[in-house]
A and B are shown apart, each in its own frame.
Chain A
């Protein structure tokens, strides 16, 4: 019946829901569940042994190290860029915002290539680096640089709109009351953008720990030395035996867990945000 003309018939509705559920099942749920099932396919003991292999442990350590350098750097940049862009007017602002977002439109492989062109043996600084026995490409500094590049915009792009929305009145009030610049930043600005900052940081961290393409180009894939967790997954997968496939899934399961935790925090932050907006809307009416 088309009596209630703004709703679909129950049949249409449930067919649409059915397709959506089937699609989500195949493309979202199965890939996730499969990671854990395959990781445990040879039992818990094999799972722990795969993770405890010296090269896998080294990969875990390297991934944590890379994230521990990358995330604070890009957080610092995000805060500085957001302060300059959101609190001041200057010519060329739209261009700056576009350039900050640029790394997101570059293929990870091309991003890695850029650093090879700069620091590789045939690169601009290759001969000089070699003469001074410094290694960037096929070493940890290159991995860090490539990761910083691909995760560059995350914090800044979350913070800019939040800082713009809060305006400058509160900071001005604090300064008028005698606070200095740092005090104003710590006690007024930072608390007001706290949640946006956390949001940016968890997205930046997830990408930093999971980056594959850019890191793969600059790493050299030396097991135990320049292999991050995603690269370790690839090496184990290429082992082509059942046991090494299960080991690849074991390392992958840690990364999948990271994705789930990231998703959980993200959902919580969005839920918080929606509730805050509802409260504000409620107060206004």
Chain B
């Protein structure tokens, strides 16, 4: 007997070939270039370049502000998703559609308009600056920009989970005598947790690499309001490729670790829903 594997549909060779060539040209070769240049560095050199005082200050701001923004997104995103799924109120559909606005708006425009809003003479800054809340050219500005950019992640991850949540479980809890708050804490919150964490991690990952919206609002002062991606750009402008590469590798390693965590969370989240 001759066993012949027979592909019914045509075009596998063509499409797969094109996919792999294009993928190599656009993604794999550029990646490989960065890896090769990194491996040419000795460990001592790499460590020295990646941990200068200015770089450490930039990491602190990047990771710190990203964390604060992701927490804000987790809190407000959960609230927003809850309100959008559970309640009827005027403007609900409009806000639902607008949640994706930060995804659609070019980051430069986001940075420009937020910097203007929070500047001393801006619509919000006018009232906030006299109270001592300075949103432009401060670390707070970085947090504001990152909160804007990360806003859709938690809402969009949580919405389908909330919609599929079975109301019967809540009714059972109520029948058993639990108050609304207790039902929320003991029954609803645990079911939402994996999705909230996934959204949190997605917003955090996006915030780490964000550049466009921040350069406008932060002022980019070394040691004070300078984020790591901005420092990479500075090094490149000085033609100091090696320093730029060392900083980039730190960001990349962190992004890939986060990507792994996100995959695990999504896996956990999908198991939870079954």
Contacts and interface: CB of A to CB of B under 8 A. Distances in A.
Given A5-B180, A88-B12, A77 B19 contact: yes
A161 B82 CA distance: 27
Interface string B77-110: 0011011100101010001011111101111111
Contacts of A9: 180
Contacts of B124: 26, 30
> Chain B interface: which size bin?
35 or more
Contacts of B30: 111, 114-115, 117-118, 149
Contact of B215 (A81, A124, A175, A234): A234
B29 interface: yes
B256 interface: yes
A34 B80 CA distance: 22
B241 A116 contact: yes
Given A77-B22, A80-B18, A118-B30, A6 B147 contact: no
A260 B171 CA distance: 41
Interface in B22-46: 22-23, 26-31, 33-34, 36-37
B108 A233 contact: yes
Contacts of A245: 116
Nearest to A266: B100
B106 A259 contact: yes
A21 B34 contact: no
B243 to A, nearest CB: 11
Interface string A253-267: 001101110110011
A210 B107 contact: yes
Most buried by A among B80, B113, B124, B215: B113
Interface stretch (B49-57, B190-198, B245-253, B266-274): B245-253
B79 to A, nearest CB: 6
B186 interface: no
A122 B241 CA distance: 8
A172 B104 contact: no
A76 to B, nearest CB: 8
B236 interface: yes
A68 interface: no
A30 B95 contact: no
Interface string A1-22: 0101111110011001101110
Contacts of B148: 27, 31
A107 B211 contact: yes
B109 A83 contact: no
Nearest to A121: B239
A35 B116 CA distance: 9
B83 A16 contact: yes
Nearest to B12: A88
A231 B109 CA distance: 10
A252 B113 contact: yes
Interface of A: 2, 4-9, 12-13, 16-17, 19-21, 23-24, 26-32, 34-35, 38, 73, 76-77, 79-81, 83-84, 87-88, 90, 96, 99-100, 102-103, 105-111, 113-118, 120, 122-124, 145, 148-149, 152, 168, 171-172, 175, 180-181, 184-185, 206, 209-213, 216-217, 229-231, 233-234, 237, 245, 248-249, 252, 255-256, 258-260, 262-263, 266-267
Interface of B: 7-12, 14-16, 18-19, 22-23, 26-31, 33-34, 36-37, 76, 79-80, 82-84, 87, 89, 91, 95, 97-102, 104-110, 112-114, 116-117, 122-124, 147-148, 151, 167, 170-171, 173-175, 178-180, 183, 205, 208-212, 215-216, 229-230, 232-233, 236, 239, 241, 244-245, 248, 251-252, 255-256, 258-259
Given A21-B89, A102-B31, A124-B33, 6 more contacts: A109-B211, A114-B33, A116-B236, A175-B10, A212-B108, A248-B112
